[in-house]
Amino acid sequence: MCGRFAQAQTREEYLAYLAEEAEYDIPWDPAPIGRYNVAPGTKVLLLSERNAQLHLDPVYWGYAPGWWDKPPLINARVETAATSRMFKPLWQHGRAICFADGWFEWKKAGEKKQPYFIQRKDGQPIFMAAIGSTPFERGDSAEGFLLVTAAADRGLVDIHDRRPLVLAPEAAREWMRQEVTGAEAVEIARDGAVTADDFIWHAVSRAVGNVNNQGPELIEPVE
């Protein structure tokens, strides 16, 4: 699964990997986003396409339609999202990208759980596939977005058996295109995913477990 991540750079640093300036309608903001501990239930900057241009909206991380009587869902499995009754409309019409520096997972270590920060080896940002309820700009506080997850493989399995579906920049741009069909999005998810070999991870402070904690020290390695 993916239940916590870091989104700390400036929006321009993420956008530079995805599109030319003419392709997006996003106000310039030189300030770093500065969120080192993004948690579900908060509004997160989400990138999506409207009228052939990319837009950035603060969207609630969670999905709980009116009839849903359980806690909001935060993840959707790539293996079933495209065909499930609940997620198929979102997969077809609500694809988006959540950019980040990396994500956190917890691994049991004796009596406690040790958090790890997982990021790309080459230092590039990650572009996590998301689906949600559109239009995103309406700011709904119940029907927001979910991160798409895939089965972890290779060394990542040692940390957790699920991981966010991270797409290469070119695939991430295609994923958001409105003319792309649900079936084509399945192919993008399969062929455009970044492999486990492209990631590294390190143990971090347990302070990340408190959603109120923020700061670059949360992603720094600990012994």
Three-state DSSP state, 186: helix
| Residues 101, 6 contacting (CB under 8 angstroms) | yes
Per the structure, the complete domain to which residue 117 belongs is given by: 5-219
Of 2, 98, 143, 174, which one is the catalytic site residue?
A: 2
Residues 6+ apart with CB under 8 A from 100: 5, 6, 7, 38, 125, 126, 128
What does the pLDDT read at residue 144?
A: 96
- 49 carries an active-site annotation: no
What does the pLDDT read at residue 1?
A: 61
C-alpha torsion angle, residues 116, 64, 183, 98 (rounded to 10): -40
Q: Which amino acid is at 120?
A: R
What does the pLDDT read at residue 30?
A: 94
Positions in the chain whose pLDDT score sits under 70: 1, 154-158, 160
pTM: 0.95
What does the pLDDT read at residue 23?
A: 86
Of 20, 49, 98, 105, which one is the catalytic site residue?
A: 105
What does the pLDDT read at residue 13?
A: 96
| Residues 157, 111 contacting (CB under 8 angstroms) | no
Give me the CATH number covering residue 166.
3.90.1680.10
| Residues 127, 99 contacting (CB under 8 angstroms) | yes
What does the pLDDT read at residue 18?
A: 93
Three-state DSSP state, 89: helix
- 2 carries an active-site annotation: yes
Length of the chain: 223
DSSP 24: B
Q: How many domains does the chain have?
A: 1
Give the Cα separation of 94 and 131 in Å (integer). Answer: 5
Beta strands at 75-77 and 145-151: parallel, antiparallel or unpaired:
parallel
